[in-house]
Amino acid sequence: MTAGARPPRAAERVRLGARGPVVSRLGVGASPFGGVFGRADEGAAFGAVQAALEAGVTYFDTAPAYGATRSERVLGRALAGVDRDAFVLSTKVGKATGEDGRDHLAFDERSIRASLDASCERLGVEAIDVVFLHDFDLAGGAHVDAALDEGLGTLRALQAEGRLRSVGAGIYRMDVWKRVLRDVDLDVALVHNHHTLVDLRAFELLPLAAAKGVGIVNAAPFASGLLAGGEADLIMLDVRMTGMDGYALCRRLKAMPRLAKVPVMFLTSLDAPEDETEGFSVGACDYVARPFAPAVLLARIRVQLDLRRSNMALENLLQRRADRLERAEALLAGIRRSLADFQG
């Protein structure tokens, strides 16, 4: 880089709010290192971390819930030997995912302290730059009060002890975000899936965050892989989630050529029968009403996946037949021309 030249935009330094760390404008989300989006290759993860560091990227985010701690373990090994001052690290507490894929939520002091100790060991560091309370809006919001009371208080105590530098939250529901940003003092907010090509609701949160000096991490800008270029097999939309227009989102997804034929299943509630007819009108293939048994939901998903595979097989068969017919017509046209030349 020549003297006085600006660094690449990804490497530009910004401060996360008024109290958060200084980070590169672009960061690395390490959930794929844990196999969250499919098989994870450790060598590729190491290469991604090295390439990021060489490009001037300094911010890395992970969580014990990503791949049953695999993401943290892989990221820790990838950063081993790197100067600790050369990168900013964030992880999360409150949510753990077992090898069976089941989530476990706990926001009491004992659980949070044990989680942070284990994360530091896996990551090979003594302190974490930013620690987020993770997904406490799940389970219908049953853990929100515990997270914002004992959970947040524990993180502030750990901050005073020097175990972490900034306190944050990482959740999805817009109604809970608005409550948190209005009523709670945070340093950093990790907002995922709300600033993408299909969801721009993050703009509703920016004034609240700015008023309190809270830094925003825009996570999952490709909608957790939906917009990343891979092939989606099924899209599930919770049309009864507060603050989300599932119908409008379904229309936008169906307008994308790559996703137009991907089945969309609506999750709704028994007191909203209109979701069925309106959902079908915008392109949904099925809807499942709460409360539902996991086995029933799994069976309905399997039906849609089987139908998609059958439809794709039929389309391939019809395309092959159309190709053969086109070749046969070209052959006949050639024969006719040859006969015409012979007769002439």
DSSP string covering 266-320 = EEEETT-THHHHHHHHTT--EEEEES--HHHHHHHHHHHHHHHHHHHHHHHHHHH
Question: How many Å apart are CA 125 and CA 96, to the nearest integer?
Answer: 20
The neighbouring-strand residues paired with 22 are 15
The answer to whether 66 is a known catalytic residue is yes
Question: How many Å apart are CA 287 and CA 291, to the nearest integer?
Answer: 12
Q: What size, in residues, is the chain?
A: 344
Residues 6+ apart with CB under 8 A from 284: 237, 250, 264, 265, 266
Pairing of β 22-24 and β 103-105: unpaired
- Show the beta-strand stretches assigned E in the chain: 13-15, 22-24, 27-29, 59-61, 88-93, 95-97, 103-105, 128-134, 164-171, 188-192, 215-219, 235-238, 264-269, 286-290
What sections of 57-171 are H helices per DSSP? 70-79, 109-123, 144-146, 152-160
The neighbouring-strand residues paired with 166 are 130
The neighbouring-strand residues paired with 217 are 190
Q: DSSP 3-state assignment of 153? A: helix
Catalytic annotation, pick one of 66, 172, 247, 287: 66
Q: How far is CA 156 from the centre of its chain?
A: 27
Q: How many helices (H) and strands (E) does the chain have?
A: 10, 14
Report the first-to-last Cα separation within the chain, whole angstroms: 74
Residues labelled as active-site residues: 66
